[in-house]
Amino acid sequence: MPTKMNRRIILRAHPNGVPRESDFAADEAPIPEPSEGQFLTRNLFLSIDAGFRQWMNEGAGDGYLQAMALGEPVMGLVLGEVAASHHPQYRVGDLVMGRTRWEEWSLADGSDYLAPVERAAGIDLSHHLGAIGPTGLTAYFGLRDIGRPQAGETVVVSTAAGAVGMIASQIAKIRGCRVVGLTSTEAKCRWLVDHLGLDAAIEYREPGVLAAGLDRHCPNGIDVYFDNVGGRVLEAALARLAMGARVVMCGALASYEGGDPVPGPTNLFKLVTQRATMRGFMVTDYVSEYPAAVAELAGWIASGQLHPVERMLDGIEQTPRAFCEMFRGVNLGKLVVRLDAARGAA
């Protein structure tokens, strides 16, 4: 059993609006020992996910997850290796990916593990948290089952330069669609078109710019809207739905920051006149289908059709900065923190 301490990042304060690094703090605790039915993971990578922000708010618990407690390690997805086990299904050396905490060592009993990780040949291990992990799979299943994009259709993706959005955008391109991405800055718009190959990109922050951009780039309306944001961006997309459109309800970033409720769309009647559908989903609904989906995503990466863009920071102490930067829109693609244990192992 290892003798050093478990370095962790705890929630120091409930963030007020955009999270700040001072909302988090580093601490250390003894490395836990698994008892019967438990196992210990030595974590290699932490996944930085916008969705967890909402459970940092005071009293934010819901039917899906509990609110995060002050003074406790922050909940998050990790990719790790089983280091000790008293669990019949997890052997020492197995790679696993699941929801534990921002920490170097995690105690688990298998209940919060999304999937064992079967390492894909020729693909960086960290992409099992990104393009071929939960974020890529979210884009994959949301589009496959709800968006159902057909060649020639117009697909609009919000947070198109982020982890889920950049994969959704690229899959829609692979399906032969015209893809329009929404993001916060001109530089990110240029990146979406020049680097990811989208047909157009629009800055969404100014309502007038968003409306004019959607009118210009979606002259026949929007067939699929992949929504990561909600609020008035969703309203602008609904206003331009084509007949029979599908709206993929993936996330609602605009409302994760707590405080006053974000006004919802006032034009839901558009769904009626356009015979449109709008449906939410959780990627965890699809666990049994992960292996086949990972194989297809990995195949697209191998053939050069899908670019698994990733920004990696080194060391657990970088985790608060990585998370906060995400809410300032600094990131392009997937954000991952590489832990000391992964250096030389990945």
- Decide if residue 251 touches ligand NAP (CB under 6 A): yes
| Distance in Å, CB of 84 to ligand NAP, minimum | 30
Question: Are the CB atoms for 240 and 219 separated by under 8 Å?
Answer: no
Between residues 131 and 341, which has the closer beta carbon with respect to ligand NAP? 131
At residue 145, the 3 state secondary structure works out as helix
Binding map of ligand NAP across residues 280-319, x = CB under 6 A, - = no contact: -xxx------------------------------------
Pairing outcome for strands 200-203 and 178-183: parallel
| Distance in Å, CB of 145 to ligand NAP, minimum | 12
User: Distances in Å between the alpha carbon of 187 and those of 160, 161, 254?
Assistant: 13, 11, 21
Between residues 82 and 164, which has the closer beta carbon with respect to ligand NAP? 164
* CA–CA distance, 55 with 275 (Å, rounded to integer): 34
The binder of ligand NAP chosen from 43, 85, 138, 318 (CB under 6 A) = 138
Question: Are the CB atoms for 105 and 127 separated by under 8 Å?
Answer: no
Contact segment (CB under 6 A) with ligand NAP among 78-86, 144-152, 159-167, 309-317 equals: 159-167
Contact segment (CB under 6 A) with ligand NAP among 143-151, 214-222, 303-311, 323-331 equals: 323-331
- Decide if residue 161 touches ligand NAP (CB under 6 A): yes
| Distance in Å, CB of 345 to ligand NAP, minimum | 24
| Distance in Å, CB of 134 to ligand NAP, minimum | 6
- 8-state DSSP, 68: P
- Decide if residue 128 touches ligand NAP (CB under 6 A): no
The binder of ligand NAP chosen from 84, 177, 298, 326 (CB under 6 A) = 326
At residue 78, the 3 state secondary structure works out as strand
* Structure token pair of residue 345: 């192992």
* CA–CA distance, 9 with 19 (Å, rounded to integer): 14
Q: Which of residues 24-53 bind ligand NAP (CB under 6 A)?
A: 49-51
Contact segment (CB under 6 A) with ligand NAP among 79-87, 116-124, 163-171, 194-202 equals: 163-171
| Distance in Å, CB of 254 to ligand NAP, minimum | 4
- 8-state DSSP, 305: S
Between residues 134 and 308, which has the closer beta carbon with respect to ligand NAP? 134
* CA–CA distance, 310 with 321 (Å, rounded to integer): 16
User: Distances in Å between the alpha carbon of 11 and those of 74, 310, 313?
Assistant: 6, 25, 20
Q: Site size for ligand NAP, by CB under 6 A?
A: 28
| Distance in Å, CB of 1 to ligand NAP, minimum | 34
What is the number of alpha carbons within 13 Å of residue 270 lying toward its C-beta? Answer: 21
The binder of ligand NAP chosen from 100, 159, 169, 319 (CB under 6 A) = 159
- Decide if residue 243 touches ligand NAP (CB under 6 A): no
* CA–CA distance, 16 with 58 (Å, rounded to integer): 10
- Cβ contacts of residue 297 below 8 Å, gap of 6+? 131, 132, 136, 137, 140, 167, 306
Contact segment (CB under 6 A) with ligand NAP among 29-37, 289-297, 303-311, 325-333 equals: 325-333
| Distance in Å, CB of 52 to ligand NAP, minimum | 8
- Decide if residue 192 touches ligand NAP (CB under 6 A): no
Question: Are the CB atoms for 218 and 199 separated by under 8 Å?
Answer: no
Q: Checking phi first, is residue 57 left (phi over 0); if not, alpha (psi -120 to 50) or beta? A: beta
Give the closest residue to 340 by CA, choosing from 318, 321, 309. Answer: 318
| Distance in Å, CB of 320 to ligand NAP, minimum | 15
- Applying CB under 6 A, the residues found at the interface with ligand NAP are 49-51, 134-135, 138, 159, 161-165, 183-184, 188, 228-229, 250-251, 253-254, 281-283, 326-327, 329, 331
